[in-house]
């Protein structure tokens, strides 16, 4: 079995896969780690188990998860696992691809904590906890930033003094890389084209959102920057904003308050007071702020598609993914209808399809194909974990 972990500051998400087939067997979460009333949930296609207990740290949480998986006959122990794959948010410039975890990798992840203080520290907790429980299990790190390391300097450098890049590594890194890679590779199979020959724009739209320009299987630009704050309008993040606004705000409120404003109180929430797009769509007929929030979000997406079309020098496919990308027919229509002059023939009936699998929302004659593809970052992590460990055997 291969265990995939996504460790947050107070949570762990996990999925267990069969080693050979990479079929997902069971998934679950540990929530409110470090709080009084922690919860572990374990689900498979036929059942769901929820337990309330005390989980003071990630190691205890993983031990409890191990106990539950053993009691339900999914595994004999963590020691019997083929390997463990970890989602690690920030690899900085150190990692261009997934890698087997050793002491040097752990030190590199530590060195990038300043770039993603909440995420990398939490990701390390998951890695260290597995080492503590079963030190001999091979572990693999898959970095959100790795796919975007193919960007050229003209795309990732900011126009600021060079020493800020060389000394502090201030540059564009991009995120959601595993998702962008997965759905771009999947659309190539669906349209039966060589991945290395395609020009693709992928749109990962959820509470966090990013766009990516992919040329011949390589990310050449992406909307998120040094942090996940830059780019598209998100649930509570502002996305692109004049840096002068930050300077203006610094004369009014503290740096901590600015961080809270731009990361937790802005985006859709800042525009209309609601960050859940499902609720916003219900409000648009009677709430002008909700309608504006929807329009601002769609407008920003369209701007990025136009920019990436120019950078790519053409376009073969667009992919919508993420919670909003997969489930909001309205957002997809608002965006796609506006760019039909790119060679897109939008199909409203197809767009309103409700299904879990991938589906196309353009006509068969459309020269640019637009698809909706559910992302599966955990499967990508499991696949990389399998390949890297098998290469060592």
- Residues belonging to the active site: 144
Q: What are the φ and ψ backbone dihedral angles of 309, each rounded to 5 degrees?
A: -60, -45
Which contiguous run of DSSP H or E holds residue 270?
helix 267-272
Token code pair at residue 342: 């790119």
* Nearest alpha-carbon partner for 301 in 356, 358, 238, 231: 231
Q: What are the φ and ψ backbone dihedral angles of 377, each rounded to 5 degrees?
A: -65, -35
Token code pair at residue 73: 């006959």
Token code pair at residue 330: 């309205």
User: How crowded is the C-beta side of 254, counted as CA atoms within 13 Å?
Assistant: 3
Cα separation of 140 and 148, whole Å? 19
Let me know how long the chain is. 393
SS (H, E, C) 275-302: CCHHHHHHHCCCCHHHHHHHHHHHHHHH
Q: Could you tell me if 125 and 364 are in contact, meaning their C-beta atoms sit under 8 angstroms apart?
A: no
Write down the residue that tokens 């106990």 correspond to: 67
Cα separation of 365 and 150, whole Å? 33
User: How crowded is the C-beta side of 192, counted as CA atoms within 13 Å?
Assistant: 0
Cα separation of 167 and 164, whole Å? 5
Cα separation of 274 and 259, whole Å? 19
3-state secondary structure of 92: coil
Using N-to-C axis directions, what is the helix angle for 177-190 and 377-390, rounded to 10°?
90
Q: Could you tell me if 1 and 75 are in contact, meaning their C-beta atoms sit under 8 angstroms apart?
A: yes
Using N-to-C axis directions, what is the helix angle for 329-338 and 288-312, rounded to 10°?
50
Q: First CA to last CA across the chain, in angstroms?
A: 16
Q: Which residues pair with 38 in a beta bridge?
A: 53
């Amino acid at each position: 079995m291969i265990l995939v972990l996504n460790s947050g500051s107070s949570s762990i998400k996990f999925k267990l896969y069969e080693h050979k087939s990479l079929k997902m067997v069971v998934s679950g979460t540990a929530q409110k780690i470090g709080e009084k009333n922690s919860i572990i949930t374990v689900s498979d296609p036929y059942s769901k188990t929820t337990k309330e207990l005390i989980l003071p740290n990630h190691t205890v949480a993983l031990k409890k998860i191990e106990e539950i998986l053993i009691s339900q006959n999914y595994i004999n122990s963590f020691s019997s696992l083929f390997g463990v794959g970890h989602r690690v948010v920030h690899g900085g410039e150190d990692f261009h691809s997934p890698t087997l975890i050793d002491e040097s990798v752990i030190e590199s992840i530590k060195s990038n904590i300043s770039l993603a203080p909440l995420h990398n520290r939490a990701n390390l907790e998951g890695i260290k906890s597995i080492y503590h429980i079963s030190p001999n299990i091979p572990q693999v790190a898959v970095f959100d930033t790795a796919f975007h390391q193919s960007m050229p300097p003209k795309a990732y450098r900011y126009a600021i003094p060079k020493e800020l890049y060389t000394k502090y590594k201030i540059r564009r890194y991009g995120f959601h890389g595993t998702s962008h890679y997965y759905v771009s590779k999947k659309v190539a199979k669906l349209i039966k084209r060589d991945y290395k020959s395609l020009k693709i724009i992928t749109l990962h739209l959820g509470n966090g959102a990013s766009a990516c320009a992919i040329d011949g299987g390589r990310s050449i630009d992406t909307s998120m920057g040094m942090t996940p704050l830059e780019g598209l309008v998100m649930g509570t993040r502002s996305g692109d904003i004049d840096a002068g606004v930050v300077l203006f705000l610094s004369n009014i409120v503290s740096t901590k308050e600015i961080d809270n404003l731009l990361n937790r109180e802005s985006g859709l929430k800042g525009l209309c007071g609601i960050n859940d797009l499902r609720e916003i769509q219900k409000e648009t007929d009677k709430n002008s702020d909700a309608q504006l929030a929807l329009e601002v979000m769609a407008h920003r997406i369209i701007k990025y598609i136009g920019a990436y079309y120019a950078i790519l020098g053409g376009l073969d496919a667009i992919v919508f993914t993420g919670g909003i990308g997969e489930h909001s027919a309205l957002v997809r229509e608002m965006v796609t209808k506006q760019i039909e002059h790119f060679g897109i023939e939008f199909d409203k009936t197809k767009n309103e399809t409700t299904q879990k699998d991938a589906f196309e929302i353009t006509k068969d004659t459309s020269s640019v194909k637009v698809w909706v593809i559910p992302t599966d970052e955990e499967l990508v992590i499991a696949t990389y974990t399998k390949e890297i460990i098998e290469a060592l055997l």
